[in-house]
Amino acid sequence: MIWALVAADLFGTGFARSALGMEQREFDYFALALQWPGTICSSTRHCCAANGCCRSEPLHTFTIHGLWPDYDDGTWPSCCRHTNFDMDKISPLMPILEKYWPSLYCSSSSTCFSGRGPFWAHEWEKHGTCSSPVVQEELQYFSTALDLYFKYNVMEMLASGDIQISDDKKYPLRDVIDTIKDAFGASPQIICKKGSIEELRLCFTKDLEPRDCLTTSAMSKTLTKEKHCPRYITLPTYDPIVFSNSTGEVFTEANNNGIYIYTA
């Protein structure tokens, strides 16, 4: 097995190719980053209406973190165009975004050009603006990510290898990788937290076809041992802490809506 490290979006822009405002070359490939709520939401201590972890029914599927344009050398572009996020532009997608692309935190997200804002604003301004020429505008960015998410259903891939959600069941990391590779046609990246999957990434060419995710040892200095995936990993569940002050309307909507990185 080949073990590799890659910098996550969670760790800031330390490996971004260029500083904000400087010209950045065209990206090489996309990474569709997916989060496992069972790992992230188990650490939730305080709730708010915007946090998907606080819904009355726990999330039992991978949710989208973002669609990230990356470079083959292990770096990535960020904040490429000065275009502020506009919620109105993605209003047709709101029900599906709430369900499959929720924030799993209460704090507002940093943005490139407008300070702080919704989770979606962060993803569009930091990553979506660097997705040209494949993706040109905001609605297309979110639509493209959702299309890939549904076309390449990771839960179905895992089920094909009899890998299920469980608090006590541990699966060989190699089996998880091979199951996804057989179904997807390319090697994913997996990020762990305390032995549980925290994030899983599927990678795509600029033609949106599956490709192996990048393996590089150049990123090893940015990550801690807490991100290492052991030989056996879990897909845990969690008990939600429901936001007590939320309205019935909010939760009706929610209920209808859920590194050590190994690369084979």
Domains in the chain, CATH or no CATH each? 3-262 (3.90.730.10)
- Residue 82 known to be catalytic: no
pLDDT of residue 19: 43
Alpha carbons 239 and 38: distance in angstroms, whole number: 9
pLDDT of residue 214: 79
Alpha carbons 79 and 16: distance in angstroms, whole number: 10
Cβ–Cβ < 8 Å for 103, 74: no
pLDDT of residue 250: 36
Average per-residue pLDDT for the chain: 83
User: Is 6's pLDDT higher than 70?
Assistant: no
Q: For the whole model, what pTM was predicted?
A: 0.83
pLDDT of residue 168: 86
- Residue 123 known to be catalytic: yes
Alpha carbons 113 and 76: distance in angstroms, whole number: 18
Mean pLDDT of all residues in 45-64: 93
Spell out the long-range contacts of 169-176 with Cβ–Cβ below 8 A and sequence spacing 24 or more.
Answer: 169/234, 169/235, 170/232, 170/233, 170/234, 171/232, 171/233, 171/234, 171/235, 172/231, 172/232, 173/229, 173/230, 173/231, 173/232, 173/233, 173/262, 174/1, 174/231, 174/264, 176/233
Given the residues 122, 125, 127, 199, the one annotated as active site = 127
pLDDT of residue 264: 35
Q: What percent of the chain has pLDDT over 90?
A: 66
- Residue 122 known to be catalytic: no
Mean pLDDT of all residues in 242-249: 50
Mean pLDDT of all residues in 159-165: 95
User: Is 130's pLDDT higher than 90?
Assistant: yes
Query: pLDDT higher for 230 or 227?
Result: 230
Given the residues 123, 125, 198, 199, the one annotated as active site = 123
- Band (pLDDT 50/70/90 cuts) for residue 5 is very low
